[in-house]
Amino acid sequence: MEKEFSRVHSATDITLSLVIIAAGCILVAIPSSTPVSILGFFLLVTGLILILILRTGYKDNETGERFRKTEKYFPAHCKDSIAKALASSPDSIDFSEEDKGNGLRLDTYFNGKTGHVYARLYEYIPYRYQPCSATIPLKFDQAARLIK
């Protein structure tokens, strides 16, 4: 069974949105000039929009476990070496080529509390990234360089 992750609200997303909404409510509630009330309504609307669309967390569809995600970009010619390194020892990935191209994307999903880490390699095919490896479970200590 292939691992699938879906985007969900994280605690940071909800906290940020609620702080912005609270600031907007305070500015609207206090008797002040019109520009301050307009700013309050702007903050209220911004907070409501953020609470609806901001989703920076990820959830494993199978287990319901929550993860954070990092992305690293590599040039396309590194595909074979990165795929082999992921399968055998992720410590040996050559990070000197990172951010020198965007033909490959290495997604790493991790949960610091449980120590679960999953990595998957994607290849850029015009207009979108397509998976070119399976989702590989890793040990947390092996993936330390991937989640930085």
In contact, 90 and 82? CB cutoff 8 Å: no
Partners of 6 in beta bridges? 59
The per-residue pLDDT for 100 is 86
- Tens-digit pLDDT profile for residues 60-77: 999 999 999 999 999 988
Q: At what angle do helices 34-53 and 11-29 cross, to 10 degrees?
A: 160
| This prediction's pTM | 0.83
Whether 1 has a pLDDT exceeding 70, the answer reads no
Q: Check pLDDT > 60 for residue 86.
A: yes
Residues 6+ apart with CB under 8 A from 103: 74, 75, 76, 77, 79, 123, 124
Q: Which of the four pLDDT bands, split at 50, 70 and 90, describes residue 93?
A: confident
Closest CA to 62 of 114, 119, 3, 108: 3
